Amino acid sequence: MILKWYQLLLLFLINNNNPNNAHITEILDTLKQRLSVKSQWLRQYKEANGRKHQNRLFTTNEKTYYCNLKSERRPDCQDTLLDKQALTAFRASTWGNTVKHNLKASWIRREQTRVFNITAMEHSPITTEQVSRLITKTLNWKALGPNGINNFWIKQFTETHSYLAYHFNQFMEDARNIPDFLVQGITYLLQTSQDCKDSSKYMPITCLCTIYKIYTA
């Protein structure tokens, strides 16, 4: 009896929207199609909303973003030691390969001809006020590079801003003035899978000096 009333109710609901459905099989097929469309839309919405949330979190708080990646995707591998030779060999296969470009390519000559008469833009000196204004926008406890100086201290010691502006102008005039330590970083390996011993399953994140981040901002 209950099943019969259920079937009649389905007929009533579906036929009000689509009179062509006259059999219970057609009604169920229509319901399945509608459910499939709704579930696909919901899945796409959740994926898009998740990407927006991650992008917003990465912009506002990178530390929390990477911590969430660790808690959601990776087990705790603190007690696992990677094979140093295997790790070095894997990274060397990517970073150690020398790439040679074709300096005689035709498109290079075309571009040289196209920009030959374009006047080079004059360099506007970086002022102390610009440096100070930029530093105030930085995050206090951004990840440190080899120099170990937080943005918090650069903000507090305002007397150093004029020296930073001076050296930044020196860097702009000649890139050879940039000291080696400024472009060096500390690379951390973040796990991306359940395999703690596979060197290829780690994503490298390199933390540069905060001063270099200010210079390139």
Task: Give pLDDT tens digits for 165-216.
Answer: 999 999 988 888 888 888 888 888 877 777 777 777 778 888 888 888 888 8
| Distant-in-sequence, close-in-space partners of 215: CB < 8 Å, separation ≥ 6 | 168, 171, 182
Q: State whether residue 176 is helix, strand or coil.
A: helix
Rounded mean pLDDT of the chain? Answer: 79
Q: Tell me the Cα Rg of the chain.
A: 30
Q: Give yes or no for a contact between 24 and 11, defined as CB atoms under 8 angstroms apart.
A: yes
- DSSP string spanning 3-26? HHHHHHHHHHHHHHH-TT--SHHH
How far, in Å, CA of 66 to CA of 61, rounded?
A: 9
Question: Alpha-carbon dihedral of residues 39, 42, 44, 50, nearest 10 degrees?
Answer: -140
- CA 213 to chain CA mean position, Å: 16
Q: What is the pLDDT averaged over residues 68-77?
A: 59
Residue 76 pLDDT > 70: no
Q: Where are the domains of the chain?
A: 2-60, 79-117+124-216
Q: Which of helix, strand or coil describes residue 179? A: coil
Q: Is the pLDDT of residue 79 over 70?
A: no
pTM of the model: 0.54
- Backbone φ and ψ for 208, nearest 5 degrees, come out as -90, 170
Determine the Cα–Cα distance for residues 207 and 69; give it in Å rounded to an integer: 18
81 exposure class (CB count in 10 Å sphere: 0-12, 13-18, 19+): exposed
Q: What's the length of the chain? A: 217
Q: State the Cα–Cα distance between residues 118 and 33, nearest whole angstrom.
A: 61
Residue 69 pLDDT more than 80?
no
List, for residues 126-177, the tens digit of each pLDDT value: 899 999 999 998 888 887 888 888 888 999 999 999 999 999 999 988 888 8
Calculate mean pLDDT across residues 42-57. Answer: 86
**More confident position, 135 or 10:** 135
Is residue 148 left, alpha or beta, with left meaning phi > 0 and alpha meaning psi from -120 to 50?
Answer: left
